[in-house]
A and B are shown apart, each in its own frame.
Chain A
Amino acid sequence: MNAVQYDKKLRLQLFIILCCSAIFVNIFGDYFTRFLLSEIIILSLFAMSLDFLAGRGGMISLGHAMFLGIGAYSTAILFINFNIDPFLCSLLAVVIGLIIGYLIGFIIVKTDGIFFIMITLALGEMFHSWAYTNDFLGGSDGISGILRPKLLGMDLNEPLFFSYYLLILLILVYAFLAAVTDSPLGRNLDAIRQNSGRVLSLGGSVKLYKSASFGISAAIASLAGSLYAQLNGFVSPEISHWTVSGEGLIMIIVGGIGSLSGAILGAVVVHIIQHEFSKLVDWWMLLMGGGFILVVLFLKEGLWGLILKFKNYIIENK
């Protein structure tokens, strides 16, 4: 894998720009744009978790939507069956995602390349079909009646507040993932992606680093799932279908793999194409599929790469 991005300054600059535009949209938007914004923020969380795993760790998961499902379903069950406070539900979903992710990671990180992709696909589909047939999880109908939290006297069922709540979480998760990326753990993950044998011979616990990162990534995906359930008020098995993971990977490729804030940009672009173009043209899937292929083939560093070129161009011409 080549061209994994590591430019801390540009990463932060892009993130700030994206956050500012989110605030702008939230202030001036209507109900629908705010809903769209909320969806995009949640997908950004998911894309960032995948970006950390695939971009930094080289672990390409085609079953990561399983953790979206785990987060969403545990939130639903904790809220409906155990009457737990919605905010606490999200926290618990993160913990559950972390534990399950770490355990799964511990077992599967020894596989590599295409086999890692296949095993995550198998596990993801296992969860999906389990959710689909399990009566406790509501089968193909899923579970509905999930409410959003009330925090500091604010009812987050009001879209304006919920978007801000999501934005704060996005900032926290970004700060956390950026810190992990720059930490010894993240740098070692980088090193493992490039040359895992050498990390072993330097005394690094490759397996521990990788499974810990898998757990971290799963926890964030699980948070995204929990928030998605609260946004929509219901959860269905579709959330954990493998194509959702595939779309997540597309987002990080479009945004620029390994750049973290590029993943958010990717989520914005891909989601808007999916949901807005489909209203404009009848053959949007054809466009999207073709677009993906062209980006994967010719825009190796994604939109991030373009931004980087643009930035360098400006610096040179100053």
Chain B
Amino acid sequence: MFITEILNALQFSMTLFLLSVGLTIVFGLMKIVNLAHGTLYMLGAYIGLSIWTFSDSFWLAFVFAPIATAILGALLYKVLFKFIQRVDPMRQVLLTFGLIYIGLDSVRLIWGSMSHSITTPELFSNPINIFGETYPTYRLFVILVGITVLLILYFVLEKTKMGAMVRASVDDHETSQMLGINTEKILFYTFSLGCGLAGLAGVTVAPIVGVEAGMDMEVLVLTLIVVVVGGPGSLKGALIGSLLIGFVDTFGKVFFPELALITIYAAMALILIFKPGGMYSRL
């Protein structure tokens, strides 16, 4: 039972990590909170659903749904986000708030208001026995996806020239621009990548939580909390924040169901009051 819960918490943390990492870097770069990030997660799940229905292959969905959301993200950036960088925070937030409605309705119009589910791929259909407890293999796969993405991002951000430029832009936007770094291009790619990762999160959890309109709202606030608690713009912050929120949420629901969410929100409020930039702030 205990190991199951730990693994569940880890799986949820990794989903949150996939969601929050894109958001946090975009926040770090543009100082914009994209409330529609959850919408891309939902779209990832729905697009995955369609690909899965037509091709009968989860793996095609797993590969192409994130690419589709990344392209959607790129479009969003080109038609909207590019132009709202100098707008005041309220307008930015409300613009992305409007996108939530559009996302919800589009999903309802295209896929209907019924909830759907995706069958777990053949490969992971049998549960595994860990220390005497049976555990669904697919959830282990989700954890693996999260860790893989984490390692790749860490490598790219810390070891490559592109990563160094991203970090520099997060730390000091103006100076990097003066140094000749094409921040515009960096923004474009990181934004699209972030949206792609949100889509990846959506399609990977679809076999676990199902696909339905409104699944975006369930994760949105938690993702925002991860970003704020971890410190906007920080990969490490996103990881630690995801683990923290993932574990508190999972174990909280088991041990004191009444207080779980409240604890999380209270933690966020306290961190914001005493450490306004988050735990690992790069701002």
Interface residues of A (CB under 8 A from B): 1-2, 54, 60, 62, 107-108, 110-111, 113-115, 117-119, 121-123, 125-126, 129-130, 133-134, 242-243, 246, 249-250, 253, 282-286, 288-293, 296-297
Contact = CB atoms under 8 A, between A and B. Distances in A.
Contacts, number: 124
A111 B261 contact: no
A71 to B, nearest CB: 20
Interface of B is mostly: helix
Query: Which 9 A/B pairs are nearest by Cβ-Cβ distance?
Result: A289-B101, A126-B265, A292-B98, A285-B105, A289-B102, A129-B261, A286-B105, A293-B98, A122-B268
Interface stretch (B124-132, B221-229, B233-241): B221-229
B276 interface: yes
Nearest to A289: B101
Nearest to A253: B94
9 contacts: A60-B90, A115-B228, A118-B228, A119-B269, A122-B269, A123-B269, A283-B105, A289-B100, A297-B83
Given A122-B265, A286-B109, A292 B94 contact: yes
Contacts of B272: 108, 111, 115, 118-119, 122
Contacts of A250: 94, 97-98
Given A115-B272, A119-B272, A125-B221, 9 more contacts: A111-B272, A118-B224, A118-B268, A121-B224, A122-B225, A126-B262, A129-B261, A243-B217, A289-B99
Contacts of B95: 292-293, 296-297
A1 B89 CA distance: 8
B228 to A, nearest CB: 5
Contacts of A283: 105, 109
B1 interface: no
A125 B99 CA distance: 20
A249 B265 contact: no
Nearest to B263: A126
B265 A125 contact: yes
Contacts of A2: 88
Contact of B99 (A113, A117, A293): A293
Nearest to B88: A1
